[in-house]
Amino acid sequence: MSAPGPTGRPTLVVAPNWVGDLVMAEPVFRALAASGRELAAFVRPALAPLARLLPGVVAVIEKAPEARESVTRIAAAACAEAVVLPNSFRSAWLPARAGIPRRFGYRGELRGPLLAPAVRRPRGRRPQVEDYRELLARMAVPPPADWVPRLELPAALRERGRERLARARLAVGTETSTGAAREPLVGLFPGAEWGPSKRWPWRRFAELARELRRRRPATRLAIVAGPKEVWLAVRVHEESGKIHPVIGPDLDLAALAGALSHFDLLVTNDSGPMHLAAALGVPTVALFGPTDPRRTAPAGDGHAVLFRDLWCSPCFFRRCPLLHHGCLRGISAATVAAAAEAALAGARGDG
């Protein structure tokens, strides 16, 4: 085994609390792993299956409902150092209370005394995937070769994803059983956990499904949803003809990644599944409204970002204070369908 850390003990990584933020932190995990460290990821329970897929992670410590139990779990891991990625006071307090001697994190939220050392927060706007550049530099860890998140899935997980799609009558592969070219598989994700202002109206997703079928009658579509988006997925399913299966509510994040890895395109709001698909190499058409694509656009090539850039954008409000929600409602289904066709053509090399 490689040396886990400066004293031969693992490095605790206090992970972000949201799916997309955790995916965007993958380059940090990759850089830490390349430095010879073995990583113990401290995450919300729902994120544990995803954390196990990240580079260098040999142990996952799940957050407990009570802070005292979380401290006990962290202390039991006997980590030599901690890398605190979230900016909250609590995220720095827990490893400090657990007695980890070296704790790297950015200043702010009155938590400077809890960090040893506290690193000055970088200024200026840049893609969120690069937010931890200065943190790695303070640890004398070379940066990753690039800041594009990537997830490499075990073959068994991809196979389980293929089987899940097959049960929904969505066979994967480039050819049918008769040797004919198979139509691309397109996913529609109408959810966004941060708030309703990030969601393109669900009726537009249903309209998009009909528009894609009109343009390409053989297009294969699936509605992607997590447990909290079931009601949205059901509405899109019913409004678009009750013919497109719903994938995801019964899957944990690792299993969802296994299924998403077989898609040819995902049309999605600015969301965790958007970043998950991008890290799997799946092209996305990403719909941005109140958030800033300069910060959180899907990283890598082959993605299309639709953003109206109104005078009030990006506002970062969970609900539109002007009530018109024009940043997303102003994007038509025809516009998204055209972007989807262009993305599929680019992925096939038709352009």
Please provide the average confidence, as pLDDT, over all residues in the chain. 92
Give the whole-angstrom CA distance, residue 50 versus residue 19: 8
User: What is the value of pTM for the model shown?
Assistant: 0.93
Give Cα 44 distance to the centre of its chain. 14
Structure tokens at 254: 């690792």
Give the whole-angstrom CA distance, residue 112 versus residue 106: 8
Q: What domains are defined for the chain?
A: 11-138 (3.40.50.2000), 157-348 (3.40.50.2000)
Residue percentage of the chain with pLDDT more than 90: 80
Structure tokens at 155: 């073959």
Q: What is the DSSP secondary-structure string of 154-216?
A: PHHHHHHHHHHHHHTT---SSB-TTSPBPPPEEEEE---TT-GGGSPPHHHHHHHHHHHHHH-
Q: Between 194 and 105, whose confidence is greater?
A: 105
> How many residues are listed for the chain in this entry?
351
Judge whether residue 180 has pLDDT over 80.
Answer: no
Give the whole-angstrom CA distance, residue 25 versus residue 33: 13
pLDDT at 1: 31
Between the ranges 162-176, 185-199, 314-328, where is the mean pLDDT highest?
185-199
Bridging pattern class, strands 265-269 and 284-288: parallel
Give Cα 124 distance to the centre of its chain. 23
Q: Tokens 């202390």 — which residue?
A: 75
Structure tokens at 203: 């009726």
Q: What is the mean pLDDT of residues 289-317?
A: 92
pLDDT at 170: 93
Structure tokens at 346: 């680019």
Give every CB contact of residue 11 below 8 A, 6+ residues apart in sequence: 4, 5, 32, 37, 38, 39, 40, 79, 80, 81, 82, 83
Give Cα 263 distance to the centre of its chain. 15
Judge whether residue 194 has pLDDT over 80.
Answer: no
Give every CB contact of residue 297 below 8 A, 6+ residues apart in sequence: 127, 286, 288, 303, 305
Name the band, by pLDDT with cuts 50, 70 and 90, for residue 219.
confident
Q: What is the mean pLDDT of residues 199-228?
A: 94
User: What are the tens digits of pLDDT across the range 311-346?
Assistant: 888 988 888 888 778 889 999 999 999 999 999 988
Judge whether residue 132 has pLDDT over 90.
Answer: yes
C-alpha gyration radius of the chain: 21
CA distances 187 to 135, 231, 269, 334, Å, are: 36, 17, 12, 17
Judge whether residue 2 has pLDDT over 50.
Answer: no
Give the whole-angstrom CA distance, residue 198 versus residue 328: 8
Judge whether residue 261 has pLDDT over 90.
Answer: yes
Name the band, by pLDDT with cuts 50, 70 and 90, for residue 348.
low
User: What are the tens digits of pLDDT across the range 16-59?
Assistant: 999 999 999 999 999 999 999 999 999 999 999 999 999 999 99
Judge whether residue 250 has pLDDT over 50.
Answer: yes
Give every CB contact of residue 148 below 8 A, 6+ residues apart in sequence: 27, 129, 299, 300
pLDDT at 56: 97
Structure tokens at 216: 């390409």
Backbone angles phi, psi at 220, to 5 degrees: -100, 125
Least confident of 1-15, 233-247, 305-319: 1-15
